[in-house]
Amino acid sequence: MFKRLQWKMVVMFVALVFITMLLAGIFMMSNIIEVYQEDFISQQEAAIEGDLIVSIRNALTSKGTNEERLAKASNSISLYAGRMGLGAQRDCYILDGNTGRVVISYSGKNTILEKTPNIISAMAGKKGQSFSFDTNYMDYAVSFSAGGEDYIFYVKDNRESVNSLVQNMMQIIIQALLISALASIFLCYFFAKTITKPITVLTEKAEDFAEGNFESRLETTSSDEIGSLMETFNYMGNVMSNAISEVAGEKHKVEVILENVNNGIIAFNTDQEIIHQNSAAKKLFGKHLKDDTKFDDFWKSLGTELSMEEFTYLNKLRPEERDIEFGKSRIKAYIIPFRIEKGKIAGIVSVFEDVTKQFNLEESRRKFVAEVSHELKTPLTTIGTYTETLLDGYLDDKEMATSLLKTVHSETDKMTALVKNLLTLSRYDAQKEEIQKELFSLDELLREVVKTFKVEAEKKGLKLIYNLTTQSPTILGDKFQIERAVKNIVSNAIKYTDTGAVKIFCGYLYNEAYVKVEDTGKGIPEKDLPHIFERFYRVDKARSREMGGTGLGLAITKEIIESHGGSVSAESEIGSFTRFTIKLPVAKEE
């Protein structure tokens, strides 16, 4: 397609050629007329200087009739006709100096001449040789006197020859104009194309740039300014491409970092719109955080009053911190306003750290200390009271003193058991409990446990039944620890069962050994079931204490079993049964 710039250049070029040629034509034509006129005058002057007037005067004053005199004068003119350039266009006259009437006409045409300015000037005795471009003739008039009469020597050229010359010239100029216009259109088309083509290419390249494509390269075909412009464009493309890829690399790096940090990050602009949110933030707040959530609304929904306007209006750049309770989570939020270069706030980045674990840990530590203090306080109070009673006068009463000291002893045992259990747990917490690994038969272990509790069970009138349901599974682990874990469960079963039986089953399924301890006791309420493995958790605190329980048995069992790669769970129905299941990996055969 012929582009607009190309058209403009063609039109400009053609107009330029046209105007130049037109001016040249006009200049040439005016010069031709001028030269022609100068030539006309010089011819007449030459004739006069060659004594034509003298010769005419002599002829007009010679003897003879008037006709003879006029004929002589006419002859004198004929002698100069060649030099004066007389012919069809140019005639020479002798006029009456007073009236301007034609006395002699060289061509013999007896015409009446119009009184031209030059004739009028000659009638006034001056030379008439002025010209005007407007008139279509040239004339020359000089007054002279002969025999006392005034005459005017007058030459008139009707300028037809020069007019036709001018006409011819005009035709030639117009033809030349048309030809040169056509030629210049063609020339200019190709010339303009050489200029506009690279511009078109450059435009396309610039459009590519605008679309972010800096990879395409321009082929430089010339070494002129356009060629160097193209090279500069290529260079610019390289620089931009490098800069963009550097920026893209940086951006990607930042995005990867933001995506992979555990903290939730949300950035808002000053219009309160979300401009960035990472997956951790989405995970943390879920449906609560939508793409169109506004800054103020977001914080309001978290139960914190924060307003973007406050930051922007006061240009507050100091970061702030907030502690948030979001559902079951505890979140620490850092609110960091940011600005782009120096100036006003451009937005706010909020970083959310899920501190639920730390919070819960802190909380459970607090609870733990309180529980331990409480657990120790009861026996210590008892010991304190009993020893005080003893000292207050019962030392001599042997029976009373023995009874009091028995209680003191039993309370000390309870405290010792508690402290021992606490130490065991703290070793598990610090992962310092050494596991003495050995291969042992679970069946054998359980038989020993049954033996240990047989008397105790029978004392309560309970049946203690053991059943091996498959072949005996072999376990690789700390036999002593596992025994302790199982004992805790069996002892609980006997402790919390008044009638019926305690049944122990052992076996394995695939690579998993199991020990099930089932009793027909009072059971554990459903609401307590998920908590019984927690430290110090007891369903019936008073009864547990009374029975010498520390509330740590199941917690220790859980630690032991889990440290062996197994699991422990409990099922129960109130007033019906309680079943504990221990699962342990079976030792791989060598």
Which residues would be at the binding site for ligand ADP (CB under 6 A)? 488, 492-493, 496, 519, 521, 524, 532, 537-540, 544, 549-555, 578
- Do 347 and 354 contact (CB within 8 A), yes or no? no
Q: Which is nearer to ligand ADP, 129 or 491 (CB)?
A: 491
What is the C-alpha to C-alpha distance for residues 563 and 434, in angstroms, rounded to an integer? 10
Place of tokens 């471009």: 133
Residue 386 Cβ, how far from ligand ADP at the closest point, in Å?
23
3-state secondary structure of 319: coil
- Which residues neighbour 347 within 8 Å (Cβ) at sequence distance 6 or greater? 267, 268, 269, 270, 275, 337, 338
Bridge partners (DSSP) listed for residue 145: 150
Residue 495 Cβ, how far from ligand ADP at the closest point, in Å?
6
Identify the H or E element spanning 145: strand 138-146
What is the C-alpha to C-alpha distance for residues 43 and 89, in angstroms, rounded to an integer? 15
Residue 375 Cβ, how far from ligand ADP at the closest point, in Å?
10
Q: Which is nearer to ligand ADP, 211 or 546 (CB)?
A: 546
Residue 502 Cβ, how far from ligand ADP at the closest point, in Å?
8
Residue 434 Cβ, how far from ligand ADP at the closest point, in Å?
23
Work out the number of other CB atoms within 10 angstroms of the CB of residue 209. Answer: 16
> Helices (DSSP H) in 390-441: which residue ranges?
398-429
Work out the number of other CB atoms within 10 angstroms of the CB of residue 510. Answer: 6
3-state secondary structure of 584: strand
3-state secondary structure of 87: coil
Residue 465 Cβ, how far from ligand ADP at the closest point, in Å?
15
Q: Which is nearer to ligand ADP, 368 or 537 (CB)?
A: 537
What is the C-alpha to C-alpha distance for residues 448 and 208, in angstroms, rounded to an integer? 85
Q: Which is nearer to ligand ADP, 285 or 496 (CB)?
A: 496
Q: How far is CA 53 from the centre of its chain?
A: 101
Q: Which is nearer to ligand ADP, 85 or 549 (CB)?
A: 549
Among 500, 505, 517, which Cα is nearest to 580's? 517
% helix, strand, coil for the chain, step of 5: 55, 20, 25
Work out the number of other CB atoms within 10 angstroms of the CB of residue 361. Answer: 11
Residue 462 Cβ, how far from ligand ADP at the closest point, in Å?
12
3-state secondary structure of 437: coil
Q: Which is nearer to ligand ADP, 205 or 516 (CB)?
A: 516
Q: Which is nearer to ligand ADP, 95 or 556 (CB)?
A: 556
Residue 366 Cβ, how far from ligand ADP at the closest point, in Å?
20
Q: Which is nearer to ligand ADP, 55 or 572 (CB)?
A: 572
What is the C-alpha to C-alpha distance for residues 216 and 204, in angstroms, rounded to an integer? 10
Place of tokens 């006069």: 48
What is the C-alpha to C-alpha distance for residues 73 and 52, in angstroms, rounded to an integer? 10
Extract the tokens encoding 123: 């009638």
Residue 521 Cβ, how far from ligand ADP at the closest point, in Å?
5
- Which residues neighbour 474 within 8 Å (Cβ) at sequence distance 6 or greater? 439, 440, 441, 442, 586, 587
What is the C-alpha to C-alpha distance for residues 339 and 341, in angstroms, rounded to an integer? 6
Bridge partners (DSSP) listed for residue 102: 95
Q: Which is nearer to ligand ADP, 14 or 494 (CB)?
A: 494
Q: Which is nearer to ligand ADP, 159 or 516 (CB)?
A: 516
Q: Which is nearer to ligand ADP, 43 or 488 (CB)?
A: 488
Angle at alpha carbon of residue 316, lines to 312 and 321, rounded to 5°: 115
3-state secondary structure of 98: coil
What is the C-alpha to C-alpha distance for residues 46 and 80, in angstroms, rounded to an integer? 10
Residue 313 Cβ, how far from ligand ADP at the closest point, in Å?
58
Q: Which is nearer to ligand ADP, 158 or 382 (CB)?
A: 382
Residue 452 Cβ, how far from ligand ADP at the closest point, in Å?
16
Place of tokens 């290419």: 201
Residue 496 Cβ, how far from ligand ADP at the closest point, in Å?
3
Residue 518 Cβ, how far from ligand ADP at the closest point, in Å?
9
Work out the number of other CB atoms within 10 angstroms of the CB of residue 313. Answer: 10
